[in-house]
Structure 1
Amino acid sequence: MVVWEARWQSALDHLCGRVRTIHDRVGEAWPYHCSPGERQWDTTGDGDWCGGHWVECLRIVGELTGDSALLEEALRRTERLRPYLERDDMFRGHRFYYSAARQYAWTGQERYRTLALAAAYAVRSMAMPGSGIMPIGTQVQVRSTNLSGRDKACIDNVHPNLILDWWAYARTGDETFVAGARRHLDATIDDFVLADGSTIEFADYDTVSGRKVHHFTLLGAHDDSCWSRGQAWAIAGYLRAYEALNDARYLATGKKLLNYWVGHCDETLVPPYDFKDPQLADNPGAVPVDTSAAAVVVEQLARLALKRDLGPPATDALNYLVPMIDGLLTHLTPRRVGDLGEPGILLNGCFNYPKRYATHSELIWGTAYLLFALYYLKTGRIVE
């Protein structure tokens, strides 16, 4: 059991205020990232891969502040995402879990349950026939990258591809969701998780036989490196699987991945963008950190902290929750007394270092995951 810390309240208040500020600046667009010192956000017209995250940010702030206008906007934006149900994209899991599924839990309106279930079945149908591995999809959408295909999978897939499996199984009892998720989780342990607890990022597959052809990186330093946001998705994905299934193997995998993380970070537990970038050996300061990666892990640890029936084996992982939150808050403005900048900015997110794209920026999903975590801990509940 993690006790709410008084020092976190100001961070939550600042994040809520920041969501309002971002909302006022982007209007009907969807926020994506913002460079240090800039007021203007880079936006998208459709939310890209993280539109659902923005919907849930608006819902949470609307709930906590009693702002009905934000709650109504969250509903409208959920409807704006509806046309992307048929996009062959792994991120439909995130897009519709954080929007439709959560809106159904909040409002009880059946159309959002139907939309979330439709997305769950659509994502589940993407599995490669030979291996059950979940691919990235032929229309996967992430600005700054253009990789796609039903023969390609990434370490991320244990989170966005499976998040609706757990939600849909809990509401339908359809074993298809659990069986499919297990196939992907087990294959990912074999094909992506290394003996030392690090992970590779991408792999191509022979979709008929299910054989992994080769591995490579897109956002990491080199093909055998360990991109930290991918590691974060893997930690969160396996701990989420343990939360859903109480399967000791998935907890052991999540803890193994988390232990690698802790062993390769400083005391803040905010990681370099890549744990195996060669520059770290000689000049660690030359390598950017990624606060958004840490926020992904914190959100899942906060989820676990609310569960009452997980048992003692999860305690080791939960021991990192408080130091990880406090480490992230060293990157949240104001960073010290007397700072005159805008409050609630989560600094030092690294989107795509190989392309030098938003490498020291405020990233909307980093803000979202830290907000989600503090919301869970403050309210003692997860709306789903």
Structure 2
Amino acid sequence: MEFKESWQSALDNLCDRVLSIRSAIGDEWPYHSDPEQGVWDTTSDGDWCGGHWVECLRIAGELLGRQDLLDESAARTERLRQYLERDDMFRAHRFYYSAARQYAWTGESRFRTLALAGAYSVRSMAMASNGAMPIGTQVQVRSTTISGRDKVCIDNVHPNLILDWWAYKETGDSTFIEGARKHLDLSIRDFVLDDGSTLEFIDYDARTGKKLRHYTLLGAHDDSCWSRGQAWAIAGYLRAWEELREPRYLAMGKKLLGYWISNSNEHRIPPWDFKDPKIKESPQKVPLDTSAAAIVAEQLARISILQPLPREAKEVSDLTESFIDGLLNYVTNQDGNDNKPAGILLEGCFNQPKAYANRSELIWGTAYLLFALYYLKTGRIVE
């Protein structure tokens, strides 16, 4: 796939944005920013997406030839070490995007050890009764309060499993693959509806594995389809196919993508919830979520650079360009006349039910778009 001039411009702007964010936050961790005010809301520990910022720094350091950024990405990985024992599904994201990728980049064994410790810790969370991966008793996402070893969300096919793929390749321990399959297949059975939409949360009886109820935390209503959850599902099943090459996971990814494309705008950007009743009344007033589209774009970019690319995946890889180009309609550039810095990904929606950062620049949206463009530019993934 040709790396277009517009993509290079966006990649340059995103790297510049990493630098401007770094200057604004100091030793804190970026979370979200209101593009009108331009002030970053930060955390002291990275919250659920600290690993994403580590990888943003590493990529910018590599592309800009900045050793100081590479050094900071390694140092911030060490700062995350203290959260290894937190009973939190997002440990997999936290240590995959930091420790696992730091090991691939530096070859330093301390990062491999840290990533493997995270992988085994997360894998141990699985419910013995049905193999479901829960959110955990200490799950950390600002603005939410839910937790528990009996609670499972659609997200879990990506955040919970991402270290499984890496750890299996490092160790050959089939526990990672067997556990991932159990959760993926359970999620197909319980979370994916006939039309290709997904539920957000399900509570299970941890002892028997029986499904108790479904509901939403970040969606419009209990039977709705929260678009960032749909994005995690798409990315999770396509990643499972990438790693295992099992046709049912590619088929599921395509089914979920079909629903997305049928219900998103012309740029592939979804509403914050596909089933928000207000869409029919006044769709222009319903927030979009570019961060959800960026999650999908990152996984599409991964597949598009596979060599050789199997024929059955071409239908998926062919969507990459439209997702990237769609997202770039929401990225500020140097030619803009609104006095905003270049490289801001606009219209991210974090938590619409609480009207929290619901039309904002979200650090994970920036990260996933940066990752996607990096893969397409270099033709490789550091892992």
Output the CA distance in 1 between the equivalents of 2:49 and 2:371: 14
Cα offset for 1:37?
1.5
Output the CA distance in 1 between the equivalents of 2:260 and 2:335: 27
**Aligned counterparts, 1:133-282, within 5 A:** 133-282=132-281
Q: Is the 8 A contact 1:55 1:99 kept in 2?
A: yes
Q: Secondary structure at the match of 1:28?
A: coil
Output the CA distance in 1 between the equivalents of 2:309 and 2:38: 43
Q: Aligned letter for 2:151?
A: K
Q: Report what 1:319 is aligned to.
A: 318
Q: Aligned letter for 1:10?
A: S
1:260-283 per-position Cα deviation (integer Å, ceiling 9, x unaligned): 000001210000000000001121
Output the CA distance in 2 between the equivalents of 1:103 and 1:328: 28
Q: Report what 2:302 is aligned to.
A: 303
Output the CA distance in 2 between the equivalents of 1:282 and 1:309: 46
Cα offset for 1:127?
0.2
In the alignment, is residue 122 of structure 1 matched against residue 126 of structure 2? Answer: no
Q: Report what 1:61 is aligned to.
A: 60
- Identical counterparts, % of pairs: 67
Q: Aligned letter for 1:119?
A: G
Q: Secondary structure at the match of 1:343?
A: coil
Cα offset for 1:246?
0.2
Q: Report what 1:97 is aligned to.
A: 96
Q: Secondary structure at the match of 1:63?
A: helix
Tell me how large the CA RMSD over aligned residues is. 0.9
Q: Aligned letter for 2:272?
A: Y
In the alignment, is residue 374 of structure 1 matched against residue 370 of structure 2? Answer: no
Output the CA distance in 1 between the equivalents of 2:363 and 2:269: 17
Output the CA distance in 2 between the equivalents of 1:336 and 1:76: 35
**Alpha carbons of 1:148 and 1:337: their partners in 2 closer, same or farther (altered >3 Å)?**
closer
Cα offset for 1:318?
1.4
Q: Secondary structure at the match of 1:86?
A: coil
1:29-57 per-position Cα deviation (integer Å, ceiling 9, x unaligned): 00000012223200000000000000000
Q: Is the 8 A contact 2:35 2:340 kept in 1?
A: no
Q: Report what 2:287 is aligned to.
A: 288
Output the CA distance in 2 between the equivalents of 1:194 and 1:72: 45
Q: Report what 2:79 is aligned to.
A: 80
Q: Secondary structure at the match of 2:260?
A: helix
1:7-31 per-position Cα deviation (integer Å, ceiling 9, x unaligned): 1111000000000000000000000
Q: Aligned letter for 2:179?
A: G
Cα offset for 1:338?
4.1
Output the CA distance in 2 between the equivalents of 1:65 and 1:199: 40
Aligned residue pairs, count: 383
Output the CA distance in 2 between the equivalents of 1:239 and 1:335: 34
Output the CA distance in 2 between the equivalents of 1:281 and 1:320: 27
Q: Is the 8 A contact 1:301 1:317 kept in 2?
A: yes
Cα offset for 1:87?
0.2
**Alpha carbons of 1:181 and 1:310: their partners in 2 closer, same or farther (altered >3 Å)?**
farther
Q: Report what 2:21 is aligned to.
A: 22
Q: Is the 8 A contact 2:231 2:295 kept in 1?
A: yes
Q: Secondary structure at the match of 2:31?
A: strand
Cα offset for 1:307?
0.8
Q: Report what 1:347 is aligned to.
A: 346
Q: Aligned letter for 2:248?
A: R
**Alpha carbons of 1:222 and 1:161: their partners in 2 closer, same or farther (altered >3 Å)?**
same
In structure 2, runs of 5+ residues without a counterpart are none
Q: Is the 8 A contact 1:246 1:310 kept in 2?
A: no
Output the CA distance in 2 between the equivalents of 1:239 and 1:187: 16
TM-score (norm 1): 0.98
Output the CA distance in 2 between the equivalents of 1:99 and 1:344: 22
Cα offset for 1:59?
0.3
Q: Secondary structure at the match of 2:249?
A: helix
Q: Aligned letter for 2:351?
A: N
Output the CA distance in 2 between the equivalents of 1:125 and 1:3: 42
Output the CA distance in 2 between the equivalents of 1:383 and 1:142: 27
Output the CA distance in 1 between the equivalents of 2:74 and 2:265: 41
Cα offset for 1:337?
5.0
Q: Secondary structure at the match of 2:284?
A: helix
Output the CA distance in 2 between the equivalents of 1:218 and 1:335: 38
Q: More deviation in 364-373 or 33-42?
A: 33-42
Cα offset for 1:129?
1.0
1:108-129 per-position Cα deviation (integer Å, ceiling 9, x unaligned): 0001000000100000000011
